Amino acid sequence: MRWRVGNESNIRVYGENWISRDNVMAIISPQNLNRNIMVDQLMAPSGGWDIKKLQGIFVQYDVDEILQIPTEEFQKAGRRRDQGGDKDMRGRLEVGDMWRSSAQDILKINCNTFKDKNSRKIGFGIVVRKASGKVLACSVESCVANYDLDSAKAMAVYKGLCFGKYFGFYNLVVKVDLETVINHIMKRSTTESTYGGILDSILSVASTLMKVSFLHILSQANRVAWALAKFGLNTCHKTVWLASMLGALIL
Tell me the per-residue pLDDT of 132-141, one tens digit each, with 9 for 90 and over.
888 888 999 9
pLDDT at 122: 93
User: By the 8 A CB rule, do 141 and 186 touch?
Assistant: no
Residue 51 reports pLDDT greater than 50: yes
* Bridge partners, residue 142, by sequence: 123
For residues 131 and 193, membership in a common domain is answered with yes
3-class secondary-structure state, position 198? helix
Does the model's pTM come out above 0.75?
A: no
Residue 48 reports pLDDT greater than 60: yes
More confident residue, 10 or 157: 157
Number of structural domains (the chain) is: 2
Q: State which of 47, 76, 100 marks the end of a domain.
A: 100
Closest CA to 111 of 211, 25, 217, 231: 217
More confident residue, 51 or 140: 140
Q: State which of 52, 69, 100 marks the end of a domain.
A: 100
Name the least confident of 31-35, 47-51, 232-236.
31-35
Find the mean pLDDT for residues 85-103.
30
Helices (H) and strands (E) in the chain, counts: 9, 7
Q: State which of 67, 100, 133 marks the end of a domain.
A: 100
User: By the 8 A CB rule, do 219 and 226 touch?
Assistant: yes
Residue-number span of the structural domain to which 166 is assigned? 105-250
E strand segments, the chain: 107-115, 121-130, 135-144, 171-176, 211-216, 239-242, 249-250
For residues 134 and 240, membership in a common domain is answered with yes
